[in-house]
Structure 1
């Protein structure tokens, strides 16, 4: 698969802002890293064996809808494709349905040249009409536009069967990542389905390298699409995605050699997994920042005093060493990842978190919160400070993190019950603001702008807390219109000030990208020496490019 290097203008943005998540070099990877990916002899051509992946997300819920935030693994990337795929660990941009793009019209129009000769998996040709239809669906049905693309793009125009223009009211260079990575759907299928967010897709028709072979709640299988335009780059004939109810059951399958590819937390991974077989490897590059999200629609959590007290009461060092086994470290209070430390304003660069229960209790007392007879604080309006904190069932490290947070908050009179949910329900609740507190990720991206924009802009694609502020919106507007590093830093300083002083979310630690793999049947996996893309099985569409790099072992 050919690699498209970004233009000088785009590279300046990526280089200046660095990468927030999925870091792939030695500074962003775990010290406990095993390599050996390319030591086995590989075949130059031909197919390998079925590849087995798995995840501790509970039973699969059949959902191959690319417009859904709960779409199954492989929906985006393997079945439905974007125009381009952006690596979050390198400056590479990999072409998919697009072959070329450029900014024209004083950087207010993004012109994309489409790949010719592509067919949907049902044999129908792919054209610019499919691209126009997809983005018009996002405009017609705003709930499907989870990235807010059509709130920024003013129009999409077909220049020819294979050239499309995306028009903007003003320059917005970083926003190209949203546009170019949106999955494209076939007009001839979806034009009769109505609201795309309400469609239950069980027979997906895409342009990607794989098609659905079978589905059960325990395992679904994708098989190689023989008519895929770049089928020669793929040597994995079938991918089986196994479901597990917990990290423990998935870990047993991994250690016994039943899984080739996984992305889960494993305590003492070197001893428990890598030491068991010379083909077993892992690499934990820095991934997204892990946050404690407060639901700001809850009037008590909307009180800054409550958020300040919660923030002060949490012992992040205990979380990092106990719940995360030392794989991670607490974040800078700005929420900026270590690789982006050059973007942290000088006044915030040396800040660290330190638990202070006395100060937390005093803040609440000064705000009029008093303990009831049961020891739980009551607000001035008579409401108990009693919340739930939501987490995915089976994600044992996050579950323990939530338990530690609950214990910390109990010390200052805040009652927190840990609520474990299946992944689909958890993600739906956060997307729809149906929670009190939740531990969650931030969106990984090729630029810092996208990660923070998603989390804090009024129209951000991953803003479960519901933050909306003219100050942060203005900072994002300043950032997006320039490639000047000093101006970008000025915008980031404003955003960092909001993070520290307003606490829209509470940074916990930088999350490693859990990634385990076996070289028994395939080589070419990304590792610390070959960090070509985000390696995790749950990172889409990046995982589609990873599969294109695998070669069967002789």
Structure 2
């Protein structure tokens, strides 16, 4: 159920240090701010928020929430979901739905649609809009970015305020996808679309969210407050400006000049290069996901557990954190759990950590018949233990990580070549299984199930040469699938806990993919104009400008500085 669209969006935001024309940067930023950062009027200062978008380069005029090229912020700021999830703690709040109920046998979900919600053109939101949206997703594969169709048997509206979704089989995780990741569109406008709506640019969107479009150029998107928004008194931020940047370095330049309020960057030495510049500059990096070393399990020797264990023992994760990631990405746990999911930890794994141990690598390889050649590289049956490690050109921190791993693995007796390639080739090779090893993050959700399912579920993989959804290492194991099904087919929290703990044992004992480091939500913000940002002491939403629909929850909590 992983989304390739979301995968691609994340790449564009978190990585890349390309050369940028200063003229393009400054003209975009100055347009976004109305004037230089120090000469803004008081009214503009207290009402306009400037943020980094989720793309690089010029914008297409596309507000379709189900399009891979949608303008960042559309999902949440213009189109909303039925439920609000806090990804940091898994808690759920009603949103466009005022209530919801999952059947005790997990075979259906019923939503009560909130009364008094209007579309931005003044028409009322009803259950017909929700049914229409879900039926569109069922009909057009391009809209089904979360793979829901196979789980939905029927969608009906018993009345104007109720939507009943019957499932093809028990599947509790559908609530996250239906409630937290499905953006409701208006029947009265989208029913007029000719052809496949996944190809529709939606240039004049009508949403229920707190903002509507005001101005558009390829270099600057401006949103303004929706006068029909259903939450009284919100938003207090009246205008959102989203300038286009061609690279992270352009955003950093805007930060230096105080011309942007909220960013989603990897910044080296953020304390010195950002926070030290102003008392108003802050950052917070809660854990988002786990970066893994994916190994192609359909290729020898990665199909051997001992080889995977030997590779893992030769990786110095502390070095990756300090030398590769500036100290912002500590070593991940062997269980594959995020720190926020510690309540799921199997007691016997408390304190379990990876250990950098090249001598263990040697003994493990030698125990299965590998011997070192005169060049120091292990070999078996006349074949060297040699492989490529794929990483994307432009992902500068990951390139550093890959080179660090290569040196450690080479020193431990493996010939590892870092293969730096363009993103499209990298991603296509992962999907088709045309690679040896590769660095990649994971796709988490409100509980550990979503990460495990995306990483290990056989329904998310495919034979070599066919497109895999997210299980790119191609792990296919009946015991794993049984545990995933155990979790998904019940509403019993105890049974779900047992399943998650069983999946931990598979990760620890069989190492289907090698956890490297915890990746954070990259998140920097300024309190010069607005307060109310999510912080470690008030973690009400996933921060950063690349999290959808969470971007909406953040902005709705902001208050202009008087």
How far apart, CA to CA, are the structure 2 residues paired with 1:429 and 1:122? 45
> 2:106, 2:489 within 8 Å by CA — same for their partners in 1?
no
* 1:11 corresponding residue in structure 2: none
Query: Which structure 2 residues correspond to residues 136-155 of structure 1 after superposition, within 5 A?
Result: 136-142=135-141, 144-155=143-154
CA shift in 2, pair 1:379/1:194, >3 Å: farther
How far apart, CA to CA, are the structure 1 residues paired with 2:49 and 2:246? 20
How far apart, CA to CA, are the structure 2 residues paired with 1:446 and 1:294? 26
Shift in Å, 1:388: 4.4
* 1:15 corresponding residue in structure 2: none
Is 1:404 aligned to residue 404 of structure 2? Answer: yes
> 1:135, 1:156 within 8 Å by CA — same for their partners in 2?
yes
How far apart, CA to CA, are the structure 2 residues paired with 1:550 and 1:254? 19
- The SS at the match of 2:46 is coil
Judge which range, 497-506 or 79-88, deviates more: 497-506
CA deviation digits over 1:122-148, x for unaligned, max 9?
555533233223222333344543323
> 1:317, 1:330 within 8 Å by CA — same for their partners in 2?
yes
CA shift in 2, pair 1:478/1:248, >3 Å: same
5+ residue gaps, structure 1, are 1-44
Shift in Å, 1:550: 0.9
Shift in Å, 1:177: 1.5
CA shift in 2, pair 1:219/1:391, >3 Å: farther
* 1:536 corresponding residue in structure 2: 544
* 1:335 corresponding residue in structure 2: 336
> 2:54, 2:71 within 8 Å by CA — same for their partners in 1?
no
5+ residue gaps, structure 2, are 1-42, 461-468
CA shift in 2, pair 1:392/1:492, >3 Å: farther
> 2:312, 2:514 within 8 Å by CA — same for their partners in 1?
yes
> 1:190, 1:196 within 8 Å by CA — same for their partners in 2?
no
How far apart, CA to CA, are the structure 2 residues paired with 1:443 and 1:102? 26
How far apart, CA to CA, are the structure 2 residues paired with 1:277 and 1:506? 40
* 2:263 corresponding residue in structure 1: 262
CA shift in 2, pair 1:305/1:190, >3 Å: farther
> 1:56, 1:250 within 8 Å by CA — same for their partners in 2?
no
CA shift in 2, pair 1:382/1:264, >3 Å: same
* 1:48 corresponding residue in structure 2: 46
CA deviation digits over 1:469-515, x for unaligned, max 9?
32222112222345655533431232112212333322112222221
How far apart, CA to CA, are the structure 1 residues paired with 2:113 and 2:382? 59
Shift in Å, 1:310: 3.1
- The higher relative CO (CA closer than 8 Å, separation ≥ 6) is in 1
Is 1:470 aligned to residue 468 of structure 2? Answer: no
How far apart, CA to CA, are the structure 2 residues paired with 1:280 and 1:443? 29
Judge which range, 299-308 or 58-67, deviates more: 299-308
Is 1:180 aligned to residue 188 of structure 2? Answer: no
How far apart, CA to CA, are the structure 1 residues paired with 2:232 and 2:439? 39
How far apart, CA to CA, are the structure 1 residues paired with 2:353 and 2:408? 18
> 1:101, 1:112 within 8 Å by CA — same for their partners in 2?
yes
Over the aligned positions, Cα root-mean-square deviation in angstroms equals 3.6
CA deviation digits over 1:61-104, x for unaligned, max 9?
53544334564421321122111110123464343321211234
Judge which range, 253-262 or 215-224, deviates more: 215-224
* 1:38 corresponding residue in structure 2: none
How far apart, CA to CA, are the structure 2 residues paired with 1:537 and 1:219? 16
- The SS at the match of 1:54 is coil
TM-score if structure 2 supplies the norm length?
Answer: 0.78
Query: Which structure 2 residues correspond to residues 284-433 of structure 1 after superposition, within 5 A?
Result: 284-296=285-297, 301-302=302-303, 304=305, 306-360=307-361, 385-391=386-392, 393=394, 395-411=395-411, 412-419=413-420, 421=422
What is the aligned length?
508
> 1:209, 1:231 within 8 Å by CA — same for their partners in 2?
no
- The SS at the match of 1:133 is helix
* 2:509 corresponding residue in structure 1: 501
Shift in Å, 1:263: 1.8
How far apart, CA to CA, are the structure 2 residues paired with 1:274 and 1:406? 33
> 1:223, 1:238 within 8 Å by CA — same for their partners in 2?
yes
How far apart, CA to CA, are the structure 1 residues paired with 2:382 and 2:71? 43
Shift in Å, 1:165: 0.7
* 1:82 corresponding residue in structure 2: 81
> 1:333, 1:499 within 8 Å by CA — same for their partners in 2?
yes
Judge which range, 470-479 or 430-439, deviates more: 430-439
CA deviation digits over 1:382-404, x for unaligned, max 9?
799442423472x5433322332
